[in-house]
Chains A and B, each alone.
Chain A
Amino acid sequence: MEVRKGHRKRINYSVFIMAMLGVIFLVVFCYMPMLGIIIGFKDMDYAMNISRALGTSKFVGFQNFKAFLNDPDFKAIMTNTIGLNVLQLIISFPVPIIFALLLNELSFERLKKIVQSVTYFPYFISWVVFGGILIGLLSPEGGAVNQVLRSLHIIAEPIAFTSKPEYFWGIVIVSAIIKGLGWGAVIYIAAIAGIDPSLYDAARIDGAGRFQKTVYVTIPCITGTIVVMLLLAVSGLLSSNFDQIFVLQNPLNISKSEVLDTYIYKIGVAQRRYSFTTAVGLFKSIISLILISLGNFISNKLLGRGLY
């Protein structure tokens, strides 16, 4: 609401205070850490006391950023992070959409409700639990997956899936689909439910079948939602599901499982390279910010709507 000069409206102090509570929270927990980005331009690695080192350490410019770009692990980490995310964008992103479209075709309401409830249960279970079960399922000692594969004579010897780097991406992608499928579809189901029924009636009068109704009515009507979800997915190109990867990660699969988020945790907490960690984090944040702005800009230009 704009405040016009001259005949100024009475300021509603109560609602201002309420909104300011949120602002104060954000200043302390989001904007103050943003000031702390300065740590990335200093030399504070391995400091015993970060607060004190903030005052005493000297500026080193972009040295930490250069160190990251020249790090021997840089290529592997970026390949894992981007590779896994691009694959998820191609494979996992359409799954909830297809699921929602198929669910929409069911006319038996009871089944629809049950399927929906059951499929979004795993989303609310922590990745620690889900990952723990997954490790058990894939274990070479008594794990169900190995047992079934062996009884079907697909494999001769049990495979230690979680200790072999080559299986890691597959495990991450498949498990994320199973866990997120039902919940991911909720937003599309809501969008489909919001479609004007008269559009379907019109399509039916025009002689459209089930498939044509989906292609010419449902999908165009939910394109906006799909674009928004796609934008969010693209802006997360450098972000991974930390909980998931951290739980499934072990020293034997590290060559395929180290992504930017787990790397940041490792260098920051285990190795205490504070400045280096902050620089890597900033590198990630800035690229994400550019991606979301760019995506939003393109979407606004092409579709006339974006995230904001």
Chain B
Amino acid sequence: MKKKIEPFEVIVSIFMILISLICIFPFIYVLAGSLNEGMDYMRGGIYFFPRKLSFDNYRMVFNDKRLLIGIKNTCLRTVIGTVTGTYFTALVAYGMSRKDLIFRKQIYWFNIFTMFFGGGMIPTYLVFSKLHLINSFLVYIIPSLYSVFNMIIFSNFYNEIPEEIHEAGAIDGASEWQIFYKLYLPSSGPVLATIALWIGVFHWNSFFDSMVYTSNSNLQTLQLFLVKLIKEASMAEGEAATKVPAQVVRTTSITTIRYAAIVINMLPVLFVFPFVQKYLSKGVIIGAVKG
């Protein structure tokens, strides 16, 4: 083992640090902008720190009822959706991972096919409407209960668990359900964390379902609120800002209000990320063992 520092490694290190800065800069930029007085922001030059500190942008955005509705719905769907989705997928995956599952191969293919072919938006809408999921909170929960991709990752993990554990459970007279619940589920910590986090992030970030399957404004999610805020603003910009939104008070601007909404939206991910980031990639590594 040589400990000499090579110039090549120094160059790569600097390059890597540069890339990291590029990846993180947009978030610092938006945080600084959101904390700056809106009119002052328009003069430019706010990159890392606010120049005229002001919380008016946050005050403005919290004035909007749609934000509070969005926060409520997004938090609810993230919590409920993650718990139910993770549990359901883990259960199916356990069944799929058992070698004595009848028609295992056929069922496996039945799953795989759906990853590569689908009916499309309108037929899906039709099915949802027959199930009374349109304009219902359940449209956020039920259709995302199960994911074939996550099931495969769970299954790969269960396949790695020594068969002796299953046998020990079976000898003690435990049913398959008990073996899953008492033996497999508790020992699948890292993969459970990975999948739960992926599902959680999916719920927190998705807006398409809210946009297409709900028209009731009380069911709108936080992301959809932000989409509307951004789309309205970017259009106003294109049309040379002819319509100034009425709610804009003198010191705030639509840009900085938008930044405040963006920060509110990403703050939970920002806070949770450092603690969970090591789990986020575990599943990929487990999946890659087989893939």
Decide if A106 is an interface residue (CB 8 Å cutoff).
yes
Interface string of B218-242 (1 = CB under 8 A from A): 0000010011011101110110000
**B118 beta carbon closer than 8 Å to chain A:** yes
Instruction: Determine the main DSSP class of B at the interface with A.
Output: helix
Q: Judge whether A155 is part of the interface by a CB distance below 8 angstroms.
A: no
Interface residues of B (CB under 8 A from A): 8-9, 12-13, 15-17, 19-20, 22-24, 26-27, 29-30, 33, 41-47, 88, 91-92, 94-96, 98-102, 104, 107, 110-112, 114, 116-127, 129-131, 143, 145-146, 148, 151, 175-177, 180, 201, 204-208, 211-212, 223, 226-227, 229-231, 233-235, 237-238, 255, 258-259, 262, 265-266, 269, 273-274, 277, 280-281, 284-285, 288-289, 291
Closest Cβ neighbor of A228 among chain B residues: B291
In the assembled complex, the Cα of A125 lies from the Cα of B280 at a distance in Å of 13
Interface contact A139-B23, CB-CB below 8 Å: no
B101 & A12 in contact (Cβ 8 Å cutoff): yes
| Docked CA distance A118–B19 (Å) | 9
Partner of A182, one of B23, B26, B131, B291: B23
Counting chain A residues whose Cβ lies within 8 A of the other chain, the interface size class is: 35 or more
A-B contact pairs, 20 of them (CB 8 A): A1-B100, A9-B100, A15-B95, A16-B101, A16-B102, A17-B95, A35-B123, A36-B119, A50-B125, A102-B12, A105-B8, A111-B17, A115-B19, A122-B26, A127-B205, A133-B29, A133-B259, A250-B231, A281-B119, A289-B117
Inter-chain contact A54/B126, CB cutoff 8 Å: yes
Shortest Cβ distance from A64 into chain B, in angstroms?
A: 11
Distance (whole angstroms) from the CB of A193 to the closest CB of chain B: 8
Indicate if the CB atoms of B23 and A118 lie closer than 8 Å: yes
Give 4 A-B pairs besides A181-B23, A194-B288, A282-B120 with Cβ atoms closer than 8 angstroms.
A15-B100, A21-B95, A129-B265, A133-B26
Write out the residue numbers on chain A whose beta carbons fall within 8 Å of the beta carbon of B130: 51
In the bound complex, how far is the Cα of B120 from the Cα of A54, in angstroms?
Answer: 16
A18 touches B176 (CB 8 A): yes
A128-B207, A142-B43 in contact; A278/B265 too (CB < 8 A)?
no
Tell me the minimal C-beta distance from A4 to chain B in angstroms.
12
Cβ of A12: which chain B residues have Cβ within 8 Å of it? Answer: 98, 100-102, 176
Give chain A residues whose Cβ lies under 8 Å from the Cβ of B273. 121, 124
Q: Are B20 and A39 in contact (CB under 8 A)?
A: no
Q: Give the complex CA separation of A282 and B91 in angstroms.
A: 32
Cβ–Cβ contact B284 & A190, under 8 A: yes
